[in-house]
Structure 1
Amino acid sequence: MSTSTPLTIGHLVESLEDHGVAAALGDLAAAGPDAGFRVVLVALAPSGHSAVADRVARAGVAPVELNVAPWDPRAVTKVLAVFRAHGVDLVHTHGARPDVVGSAAAARLRVPAVSTLHHIHEHPADRGDQLRRTARTMARKRFMTRTIATSVLQRDWYRRAAGSTEGLSVIPDGAADPGEGTVQERLRLRHGLGVDENEVVAVSVAPMRRGRGQDLLLDAVAEIGPDEPLTVVLGGDGPLRPWLESRVAADDALSGRVAFRRSADPVELLRAADVQLHTTRHDTMPRMLLLGQGTATPAVATRVGGIPEIVTRDTGALTPVDATRIADELVRLVRDPDLRARRGAAARARFLQRFESSVWAASLGDVYRSAAGVAGAPAPAELDTPEPVGRG
């Protein structure tokens, strides 16, 4: 295959939900052509209106949403038909069912398959669960040309299950540059909140779901004295929203300091904020933290999952899953505007260097060309992540 011929990459996901694994693929589709490939996106299940679908369509190829019931044997045939019609050169899968269906479709098309790990399975429930996870990992090694981990933590888990990191690359998901906020955006948010322009506004835009830590965040805010010039905004939505709203309404201290912005664009909130809060109890590589860095917003985040691979001491504060420690770090940023400015600038620089979508697309382009046998592409061994140091 010629080095000048763009590759067509068929991405297969479970659905196009905006908070699912497909969330970043719109940005990848836009960045792909400059990295030598175009994206064809197929979802096994419908999701209704999706911002992901809109972004992918604007990048050139409208996504296809199938209506395939779980483990429907027709799934492979349906996916195969779409990929064949688009002349797919490589299949890239995301998730358990897409892995199975996508690898079968790739085999029928006689093209390589690549899979991304999107979750960490750190603590198996029992011996049987551990054996099943190990079996799935070994199947991945057999049927996938390459596996992509989005974090070093995933790499270490994979090595324990598979015995080595051969055929594994660590490539964090990326995001299109959201740009820095302006003074006007900052003032508009404060005006809408009815607070002084000198008030520090901290924003959380994580989905309001179990384990995402908004309850912990409210515990932390409740510990902060009333004299601190701080307003906290909870953006977004989710099943826990009614409970969170009722808790705030029932507490005078919280209701005077915490606001909800259900329909606000999370990126617009981040661009206008002084601090980003991400107090989750578990996470892999949260996209909203990447976007926060792109907006030059320093973060206070919990030290869990792959978050320490995003937030550093230069770009924000990492805390245990502890309300008091979260409150302490937030107050420190509230009181020190110079520290906020330094960390915000460092966050922006780190985003552009490591997580901006063109950087992501370039790394994936190397993987795609290598797997497809494009002349001059990196050899497979060059793409393998180094073995973890000190791990036997």
Structure 2
Amino acid sequence: MVRVLMVLGRAAGGVGAHVDDLTSRLRLLGHDVDVVTAAETADAFGALEAQRLWPLHRGPAAVRGPLEWHRVMRLAGTVDVVHAHGHQAAVVAAVAVARARPRPRLVVSLHNDLPPAGGSPARRVAAGLFGRLLRWSLRRAALVTGASDDLVRLAEELGARRASLAVVPATRVGELLAAAPLTPDGRRELFASAGLAPGLAEQPVVLTVSRIAPQKDLRTLVAAAARSRAAAVWVVVGDGDERLRAALVDEADGIRTRTGERRGADVRLVGARDDVAAWLRAADVFVVTSRWEARALVVQEAMAAGLPVVATRTGGLPGLIGDAGSLVAVGDPDAVADEVDRLLADPDERARLGAAARAVAASWAGPDDEARRWVGRYLDTLPG
């Protein structure tokens, strides 16, 4: 049995879901796993047993910091391995491990790129200080993993002594590999359940599943829909930044009211849904316009569903998609529109790419296999 302390900061997307799933699978394998995370993260994922400790606070809440640091250090001294997920968690875990007695091994998983430098001088100074802390943390780790090859290279550049790839598998891949596309009646019912006119389901569906956040660059997606000449409905599933969502809705409404030859496609934002698998089965093309992604869980799911993917050439997406989709430049709505229009006009090419995507997805290791690999990684860091 390996005793593991997972450390995770504020997370609302794929990283939180991954840690939650990995924790559950390690426990089923008989290992002792505890979780330290921010209260809002524990609430988001229903992690009732998690230790709601996050010592990085601002404002009045900062007075809790010293006590929480002490509690994290004490927990670190009770385990064999402290496994940090993300940049801030790496720093918190490294400090805790340095002070813990007995001292556990430190493992860090990088799931995201570093935020771009910029902003005010004070913000640049803060970023510089944090960068030095992150380098110090990664140098202390027995193992640093990256969710994509570019993150492995980043870890090495930041001074990691040992860095390797550790993929994050999407849990719905097996289900989607076995699923068939929705029937026309199923598509109409799905659209009606989202408050959309069932008649929209008669058109080809261009799907995006994404948090509404600047990194996802959904403005480029909406701009691409405005440039598209294909008669299709572009559906965005997901929630997030409310101000950004309102701006996107305004832009999408503008497309629908535009007149002239290049009217553009219909864009509908349907919010967060618990039937993402059904939307993947209903779609004809999947689009990702993110400025950066590692090994996006939803792209894995789209490929398992047999969808041709149009994605930005960034981060881990080229290695994930390979020849089973189309890659375009970041921030290029014309390229996105052209690729979507090409695929919608060519059902044979859609079928070829969809079959290739499914074949790639069928070759991936599943979440249980990856959990067992994590046990091996932990054991490799331990003495003896």
Bigger relative contact order, structure 1 or 2 (CA pairs below 8 A, ≥6 apart)? 1
Query: Is residue 202–residue 230 contact of structure 1 (8 Å, CA) maintained in 2?
Result: yes
Q: Distance in 1 between matches of 2:206 and 2:162?
A: 41
Rounded Cα–Cα distance in structure 2 between residues aligned with 1:354 and 1:133: 35
SS in structure 1 opposite 2:3?
Answer: strand
TM-score scaled by structure 1? 0.79
Is 2:20 the partner of 1:29?
no
Residue 251 (structure 2) pairs with residue 247 (structure 1):
yes
How far is 1:113 from its partner?
Answer: 1.1
Which is further off, 350-359 or 236-245? 350-359
| Counterpart residue number, 2:269 | 260
The corresponding residue for 1:94 is 85
Distance 1:351 1:37 in 2: 29
Matched, 1:148 2:145: yes
Are 1:18 and 2:15 counterparts?
no
Spell out, residue by residue over 1:339-365, the C-alpha distance to the aligned partner (whole angstroms, 9 max, x if none): 323322332332343363234323322
**CA distance 1:203–1:217, shift in 2 (3 Å):** same
1:118 to 104, 111, 114: 111
Q: Secondary structure at the match of 1:211?
A: helix
Matched, 1:170 2:165: yes
What's the offset of the Cα at 1:287?
2.6
The aligned residue for residue 382 of structure 1 is: none
- 1:73 matches 2:66: yes
State the one-letter code of the partner of 2:167: P
Matched, 1:182 2:185: no
Distance of 1:221 and 1:308 partners within structure 2: 23
Tell me the equivalent position of 1:203. Answer: 207
Alignment of 1:323-338 (within 5 A): 323-338=333-348
Between structures 1 and 2, the one with greater helix share: 2
**Superposition deviation, residue 256 in structure 1:** 6.5
**Could you say which residue in structure 2 is the equivalent of 1:346?**
356
Q: Is the 8 A contact 2:215 2:291 kept in 1?
A: yes
Worse overlay, 296-305 or 182-191: 182-191
Residue 36 of structure 2 aligns with which residue?
42
Deviation by residue 1:336-392 (Cα, 9 ceiling, x = unmatched):
233323322332332343363234323322211101246xxxxxxxxxxxxxxxxxx
Could you tell me how far 1:131 is from its partner in structure 2?
6.6
Contact 2:87–2:134 (CA under 8 A) maintained in structure 1: no
Displacement of 1:132:
4.8
How many residues align? The count is: 354
- Structure 1 unaligned residues grouped into runs of 5+: 1-5, 375-392
Name the SS of the counterpart of 1:237 in structure 2.
Answer: coil
Using the alignment, how far apart are the partners of 2:30 and 2:379 within structure 1?
Answer: 9
| Contact map agreement 1:150 1:173 (CA 8 A) in 2 | yes
Mapped to 1, the partners of 2:184 and 2:272 lie a distance apart of 18
Greater mean deviation of Cα atoms: 64-73 or 268-277: 64-73
RMSD value, Cα: 3.1
Partner secondary structure for residue 66 of structure 2: coil
Structure 1 position 219, deviation (Å): 1.3
Match of 1:235 in 2: 237
- Cα offset, 1:160, TM superposition: 3.1
- The 8 Å contact of residues 36 and 52 in structure 2, kept in 1 or not, is answered as yes
Equivalent residue, structure 2, for 1:378: none
Equivalent-residue separation in structure 1 for 2:342 and 2:350 (angstroms): 9
Normalising to structure 2: TM-score of the pair? 0.80
Q: Please say if residues 201 and 273 of structure 1, whose CA atoms lie closer than 8 Å, have aligned partners that are also in contact.
A: yes
The runs of 5 or more residues in structure 2 that have no matched partner are none
Seq. identity, %: 25
